[in-house]
Structure 1
Amino acid sequence: MAMNFHQLHIFYTVAEKGSFSAAAAALHMTQPAVTMQVQSLEEYFGTKLFHRSTKRIELSEAGRTLIPYALNSINLMKDTEVAMSKFTHMLQGRLQLGASLTVGEYILPRLLGPFGKEYPNISVQMKVMNTAQILEEILRHQLNFGLVEAPVQHPDVKIEAVLNDELKLIVPSDHPLAAFEKVSVPQMMEHSFVLREQGSGTRQVMEEALQQQGMNPGDMKIVMELGSTGAVKSAVEAGLGITILSQSSVKHELALGLFKVIEVEDVRFMRKFYSIYLSSTILPISAVTFLTFLRERDLGQWL
């Protein structure tokens, strides 16, 4: 009998979760299958890796010794897949992911085209939903990974920044501010705003940037708060106010001359988009390939 990576991964997950049942849920396996793989590993080494009782399990001295080697093997496997993903152009399979609203509606559609040309045999299934829904589906193993607009704090989830984005001051082309290339923050604050709702990633980035400049976002003349970027754009186009949005989300309106981007002195509304996935999961090679594509390509040519 030979030891294999799959057994080490299962062993590490059992140790990390503290029970066979929790490890089975995290690995999307049955509990007897998890138990069998750990027992096979114990038979291979000829020693017990866990002390079992009716209420809990504990690592044996041999199990504690094996832990860093198991973790190294998991990390080596992940690094290997990242390194090889750039060569797998004939890769086949399905890329299954969730994306939060701005990412899914305005960012990823422009990137999936070039990705599809490079990897034509990978089909894409993307769900556009809010971050909480994405996290829930990842935890339930309904999604491999997600791309979201704000960091997620969860003990079972790994998070990594993969994309940069910048919000801009957006005004209708016939607005008084459209005569300027750059305005000050106080000058901007004199005008009526249409904004995303409280709690949205876009709103949060804007408010934090203003606070860093000593400005109180509560002093803004907010005439309307809307639950989607599309609704905000429609309100701005109707002349109801100005807004702060990702420039990528108004590319079409800028090309048509409906909007104008105005620089704001001494402040930049910068944010990152993050990938999230279960830390106990080895991502499928299609997901690893797509994340490598996002990290290593000059995405500005498409955005």
Structure 2
Amino acid sequence: MRDMRTLETFYWVATLGGFRAAAQHLNTTQPAISARIAQLEEELGVRLFDRQTKRITLTNRGAVLLSYSEKIFQIRTEMLQAVSDNGALLRGTFRLGVSETLVHTWLSPLLERIRALYPQISLDISVDTTVEIHKQLLSLDLDLGLVAAPLDHPDARSLKLCAYPFRLLVSPAFRAALPANATDRMLLTRYPIITYPKSALSTKNLIAVSQERLGLANLRIWGISPITTIIDMARTGLGIAALSPVSIPKILAAGELETLPSRLPLEDLSFYSTYLPGPNAFLKEAIRDLALEAAEAFSATTGHPD
């Protein structure tokens, strides 16, 4: 086997189920992928793929090679980590998917730690909903997700990082104008709820608890991204914001928004690291551990326990 690139090409064809998908993932051409696989099969003297179906599948020998490939990638990354100065030899692009709440809490300290420990690693960061990040993890367009729910996949490796309160928030003028006897049912019936998109887990939970406790079948949800837009709309009195106070400490400290008392049992926002194994599994685990450290440090300094 001439180089690791050929083995990586084999891994991505096997994992993505096709030459075209592997070519797109590796940013090369399909003929180049086909040539590398043909070279590998000739060198090993065996067929690695069954090409009789639309989605190519591994032969028995191919399945054995895939298993060893994963081990080789793991050992290679561990070796570079062990012999280099704090990961200085590790290179390439690491693709990270992040829920927006974490952008406003401990993402920056995490990025500082990654930069310090892995100076040759480039970061490609995608801020999106958990649903969209899950899709990108499954299509292998992301390496690691820091999101509000674990990835639903038998091979996924997930770890809970933290949990933060989820509250209803309004402007002081909005609250002052409310009747003294305002109830949850009246508020949620009369005013729109300005929050994360409807695909967000927290929004689904809010809708579910409103139906269960108040019998409200049709909450007026204004699903919006980013958080800054939610804040701006709530400050102008357009409705009731629903988000985690940990993401807007300066807004709360300035008195621009305040918590609206509610008897609804709103579920905390939990966040997880989640990823699928692959050639850079060791780096995924390392950055997962750094994320956990960043979450714990944030909780320790802000008084928000995990």
Same fold per superposition (TM over 0.5)? yes
Tell me how far 1:71 sits from its aligned partner. 4.3
1:257 alignment counterpart = 255
Change beyond 3 A, Cα 1:282–1:267 = same
How far 1:282 sits from its partner (Å)? 3.5
Equivalence for 1:29: 28
> What are the superposed Cα offsets for residues 189-236 of structure 1, whole Å, 9 maximum, x if unpaired?
33245423762524223223444x44334365x5x8363433433343
> Which residue identity does 2:47 align to in structure 1?
K
Quote the Cα distance in structure 1 between the aligned partners of 2:87 and 2:53: 50
Q: Distance between the aligned counterparts of 1:243 and 1:53, measured in 2?
A: 55
Secondary structure at 1:218's aligned position in 2?
A: coil
Q: Partner amino acid for 1:218?
A: A
**Pair 1:188-2:187 in alignment:** no
| Corresponding residue of 1:216 | 215
Q: Determine if the alignment matches structure 1 residue 291 to structure 2 residue 288.
A: yes
1:112 CA displacement: 0.9
- Taking the aligned partners of 2:109 and 2:272, their CA distance within structure 1 comes to 20
Given the superposition, is the C-alpha separation of residues 159 and 216 from structure 1 closer, same or farther in structure 2, using an over 3 Å criterion? farther
Could you tell me how far apart the structure 2 residues matched to 1:265 and 1:82 are? 53
> How much has 1:150 moved relative to structure 2?
6.2
In the alignment, the residues of structure 2 paired with residue 30 and residue 195 of structure 1 have an alpha-carbon distance, to the nearest angstrom, of: 45
TM-score normalized with structure 1 length? 0.64
Matched residues in 2 for 1:92 and 1:123: separation? 10
**Cα–Cα, structure 1 residues 193 and 57, in superposed 2: closer, same or farther, change >3 Å?**
closer
The total of aligned residue pairs comes to 285
* Post-superposition offset of 1:292: 2.8
RMSD of aligned alpha carbons: 4.9
| Cα 1:39–1:241 shift into 2, 3 Å | closer
- Give CA deviations for 1:231-279 in whole Å, capped at 9, x if unaligned: 4333433445433211123311221234333665572322344567786
Aligned mates of 1:130, 1:101 — CA distance in 2: 8
Conserved 8 A contact 1:160-1:274 = yes
After superposition, residues 56-71 of structure 1 pair within 5 angstroms as 59-71=58-70
Using the TM superposition, give the Cα deviation of residue 42 of structure 1 relative to its aligned residue in structure 2, in angstroms: 3.3
The one-letter code of the counterpart of 1:268 is L
Q: TM-score, normalised by structure 2?
A: 0.64
Contact 1:14 1:20 in 2 (8 A): yes
Where in structure 2 are the equivalents of 1:147-158 lying within 5 Å? 147-149=146-148
CA contact (8 A) 1:99 1:126 kept: yes
> Partners of 1:92 and 1:12 in 2: how far apart?
19
**Cα drift, residue 61 of structure 1:** 3.7
For structure 2, the residue ranges without an aligned partner over 5 or more in a row are: none
Alignment CA distance shift 1:216-1:112 (3 Å):
same
| Partner SS state of residue 293, structure 1 | helix
Distance 1:15 1:67 in 2: 8
Q: Aligned with 2:194: secondary structure?
A: strand
- Percent identity among equivalent residues? 26
- Cα displacement string for residues 110-149 of structure 1 (whole angstroms, at most 9, x for unaligned residues): 4314641674447766454567876788899986655555
Deviations 1:15-62 (A, max 9, x none): 344433333333333334433443444355443333556977554442
SS of aligned partner of 1:170: strand
Aligned to 1:206: 206
Contact 2:213 2:264 in 1 (8 A): no
What CA distance in whole angstroms lies between the structure 1 residues aligned with 2:72 and 2:292? 23
- Answer 1 or 2: which has greater strand percent: 1
Contact 2:158 2:275 in 1 (8 A): no
Q: Distance in 2 between matches of 1:116 and 1:60?
A: 44
Give the 3 Å change call, closer, same or farther, for CA 53–207 of structure 1 in structure 2. closer
Find the aligned partners of 2:276 and 2:244 in 1 and give their Cα distance. Answer: 28
* Distance of 1:97 and 1:279 partners within structure 2: 14
